[in-house]
Structure 1
Amino acid sequence: MAPRIAVLGCGYWGSNHIRTLKGLGALYAVSDQNSDRAAGFAAEHGVLHIPVEELFTRDDVDAIVLALPPQFHAEYATRAVTNGKDVLVEKPIALTVADAEAEVKAARDNGRIFMVGHVLRFHPAFEKLLELVKSGELGEVRYIHSHRLGLGKFHTENDALWDLAPHDLSMILALTGSEPIEIRGEGAALLDHLSDFAHLHLKFPGDLRGHLFASRLNPYRERRLTVVGTKAMAVFDDVEQWERKLAVYRHAVWQDNGQWAFTAEEPTYIPVGEGMPLTRECQHFIECIQTRATPRTNGEEAINVLRILTAGTVTHGKRPG
């Protein structure tokens, strides 16, 4: 039997959760501070509209998806888990590490599932890339870099780093299997006090290096994650068509009489099954509710992501968020 899941927050991303959970047969109710908006979604999908203040104490709600402005996530996630609800919290789960630790601890103390909306961890192309790394297909990973660029979206609370980078940081942490030991951030605010683009420079144990570039003031859209190993390089490009989303380059680099030489090979495109990451994420959440398994994207991972964001934040008169 599918769990009865309510979505709190009927904005852009909340509406995606609503449609996805409806398709999976698990949408039970919707809720939003804008009651008219929530009522409209409820009528459209044939589910309950539950006022926000009633949502947390309803015995007929098993779990809640929180898709709110991030400054509200910690408060409502804590209320949900202390009232016996499992939660899926959109990123970022809080604006401070302390708040994130408190809500994750509350979930643990109350025996509740706590999952984070790092949706690209459920992308079939990333899952295959992670498989290539773990199998040693790329050799020893030495460098990972990601570019997440585009125009907008502009938020009053989140800068480009906090809005865009959690996706890539989640993937980088999964690929490295470790936390960075050095973090350096750079950014610039061109419109107001919030950074519109940001760079993160990361150093991991074993001298593995990482770099992340996020921008919301870029004329073209780029969604690319590159992994450089000692045997091969791989690129997950989410802007490409499905048959070209994951490419492996088997370039060779060597020294010949003290001089560096290389061969550049054409990419091999790795077949990946098509699938919507959000659908797969919601399916995973449902499975975790039913089996009580620890989610792939759990609270500890979210805390690690927040630590990196905090360490890499460059302020411009006011802290982002």
Structure 2
Amino acid sequence: MSSSLPRIVVVGCGQWGRNHVRTLHGIGALAGVADRSPERAAALAAEFGVPALSPDAAIEGDAADALVLALPAQAHGPAARSAIAAGKDVLVEKPVALDAADARLTAEAARAAGRILMVGHVLRHHPIFRALQAEVEAGAVGTVRHVVSNRMGLGRFLGMDAVWDLAPHDVSLILAIAGRSPERVGAARRTVLSDETDEADIDFNFSGGLTAAIRVSRVSPYRDRRFSVVGNEGMITFDDLAPAGAKLALYRHRVRREGAHFAFAEAQPSFLPEPAGLPLEAELRHFIDCVATRRPPLTGAEEAVETVRILQLASPLRG
């Protein structure tokens, strides 16, 4: 690994942890891997030529300057707080906790210790979402009136319901566009083919009349990964499943009042340039920069707490 980069150990060698390991190795910042299964940690460590550690050794020892925690959600808070107490910066995979009180404890621990706490809302770092956000902020659709995010498909029955598993991404994206917290959150949750929530509709009301909606499903017969922003002068959509060249589309649709009625003018989409890059690599490079410069992360402690608060409001069964 490069001597100019912080030493980062990944704790948790499941599917997403392996993605972090592979990406950090490519960047040159991987200092080790840890897992509660010594055999799994050893196999991954051998593959990438780094030490295998126990989670306790990674968190409390001196092999790392910073950690990536890719653990079951209920373990994130205690592990993050232990790492912070040991003087380490942490990137915690989403969700950072399963209730807002636990998320606040972690955020407060990071603030008190002066450590970096970043939550892994990887789609905030997607180059095409960043391009969409820049277009919106530049006024491409006028005043933003509504945001809608769909994340639908079949699968991911991982012992966590669809709201907590899928919606954190969409909550983070909506908060980025809104630039503020919602005044009201409501949800309709449905158990369809499992014992947990399989799909849900989440609605938001923000100050100034802005609204937003999320639909997540793991029992949809088709896949849908679209994020759209509707303004008074147009609409823009990021369709992650569209072919290259058609993922970011600006529609100059207009709706206008004509007396007591409304009329609309439909326009063909203008497909905008699609910046290249891998979201996870961008996220990890941002974390590395925050560790080196002590700048607050794009998805830091405040967003970590707010996202969990919103998910909890959308999940009455979790109290």
Band of TM-score, shorter chain: over 0.9
- Aligned mates of 1:259, 1:24 — CA distance in 2: 57
Alpha carbons 1:242, 1:274 under 8 Å: kept:
no
Who is 1:110 aligned against?
113
* 1:248 alignment partner, one of 247, 250, 256: 250
Structure 1 stretches of at least 4 aligned residues deviating more than 6 Å after TM superposition:
none
SS in 2 for 1:10: coil
How far off is 1:257 after superposition? 4.6
Counterparts of residues 89-128 of structure 1 (less than 5 Å): 89-128=92-131
Alpha carbons 1:13, 1:67 under 8 Å: kept:
yes
* 1:169 alignment partner, one of 156, 168, 171: 171
Who is 1:57 aligned against?
60
Instruction: Name the aligned partner's letter for residue 238 of structure 1.
Output: D
Who is 1:40 aligned against?
43
Alpha carbons 1:187, 1:314 under 8 Å: kept:
no
- Aligned mates of 1:186, 1:252 — CA distance in 2: 30
Who is 1:272 aligned against?
274
Who is 1:262 aligned against?
264
Who is 2:151 aligned against?
148
Instruction: Name the aligned partner's letter for residue 272 of structure 1.
Output: E
Q: Which runs of 5 or more residues in structure 1 are unaligned?
A: none
How far off is 1:314 after superposition? 4.3
- Aligned mates of 1:168, 1:11 — CA distance in 2: 23
Q: Which runs of 5 or more residues in structure 2 are unaligned?
A: none
Who is 1:304 aligned against?
306
- Aligned mates of 2:105, 2:316 — CA distance in 1: 25
1:7 aligns with 2:15: no
Who is 2:222 aligned against?
220
- Aligned mates of 2:35, 2:57 — CA distance in 1: 11
How far off is 1:258 after superposition? 3.7
How far off is 1:254 after superposition? 1.9
Alpha carbons 2:193, 2:219 under 8 Å: kept:
no
Who is 1:83 aligned against?
86
Alpha carbons 2:116, 2:294 under 8 Å: kept:
yes
Instruction: Name the aligned partner's letter for residue 231 of structure 1.
Output: E
Moved more, 285-294 or 240-249: 240-249
Alpha carbons 1:186, 1:314 under 8 Å: kept:
no
Task: String of CA shifts for 1:74-120, please: whole Å, max 9, x gaps.
Answer: 01000001100110000000011010000111111111110110000
Who is 1:200 aligned against?
202
Instruction: Name the aligned partner's letter for residue 172 of structure 1.
Output: I
- Aligned mates of 2:214, 2:176 — CA distance in 1: 15
Alpha carbons 1:145, 1:211 under 8 Å: kept:
yes
- Aligned mates of 2:290, 2:41 — CA distance in 1: 26
Alpha carbons 2:167, 2:214 under 8 Å: kept:
yes
Alpha carbons 2:60, 2:82 under 8 Å: kept:
no
1:234 aligns with 2:231: no
- Aligned mates of 2:265, 2:111 — CA distance in 1: 52
- Aligned mates of 1:147, 1:261 — CA distance in 2: 27
Alpha carbons 1:186, 1:313 under 8 Å: kept:
no
- Per the normalisation by structure 2, the TM-score is 0.97
